């Protein structure tokens, strides 16, 4: 990307280039993201850098408005979602409330729910339910365990919620699913 294209991105406050490059203003000694909402500087006073470390090495300090020295919110939220997914995958069989998940992830329950749903289109509860159903399907296909054993083994608290969730996700009862897909009993 040449300097003319970078300058065009700065003038447009284009978020697409955040993290791709940074610009510094000689007269202020500050460096920014391309999307910084501050008043555009004069072109003759601008230098471009590939990362914040380069700008800081040239004695520029980060803008307090766009915080180019910190990760973008989207990156932080994506990491929060990945950490949550990993935690849920490792603990799907346990009874988990949004509060317990949030404590482990170290964010508020409200923030966790909002960010998780924005990135996955599902609540943490719905995501855990999907994990439990996938595991139940695996057991139904590959073992001869009873439906009741599978229900509790994958983390459901009672048979009624297991049967309702299973039917909602597969349009079949566990018994119907096993009859159609079981490889052990064939």
Task: Give the active site residues.
Answer: 32
Q: What residues contact residue 31 under an 8 Å CB cut-off, 6+ apart?
A: 22, 23, 24, 25, 49, 52, 55, 56, 60, 61, 62, 63, 68
C-alpha 174/C-alpha 51 separation (Å) is 54
The token pair at 10 is 């700065």
Q: Which residues pair with 25 in a beta bridge?
A: 30, 46
Q: Which residues contact 169 (CB under 8 A, 6 or more apart)?
A: 129, 130, 133
Q: Which two tokens stand for residue 58?
A: 């040239």
């Amino acid at each position: 990307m040449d300097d003319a294209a970078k300058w065009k991105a700065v003038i447009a406050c284009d978020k697409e280039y955040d993290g791709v490059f940074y610009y510094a203003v000689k007269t202020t000694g500050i460096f920014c993201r391309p999307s910084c909402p501050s008043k555009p500087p004069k072109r003759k006073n601008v230098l471009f850098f590939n990362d914040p470390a380069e700008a800081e090495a040239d004695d520029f300090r980060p803008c307090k408005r766009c915080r180019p020295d910190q990760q973008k919110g989207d990156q932080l939220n994506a990491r929060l979602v990945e950490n949550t997914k990993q935690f849920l995958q490792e603990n799907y069989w346990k009874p988990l409330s949004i509060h317990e998940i949030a404590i482990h992830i170290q964010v508020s329950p409200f923030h966790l729910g909002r960010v998780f749903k924005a990135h996955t289109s599902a609540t943490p509860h719905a995501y855990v339910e999907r994990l439990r159903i996938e595991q139940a399907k695996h057991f139904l296909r590959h073992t001869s365990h009873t439906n009741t054993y599978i229900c509790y083994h994958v983390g459901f608290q009672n048979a009624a919620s297991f049967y309702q969730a299973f039917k909602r996700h597969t349009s079949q009862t566990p018994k119907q699913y096993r009859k159609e897909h079981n490889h052990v009993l064939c």
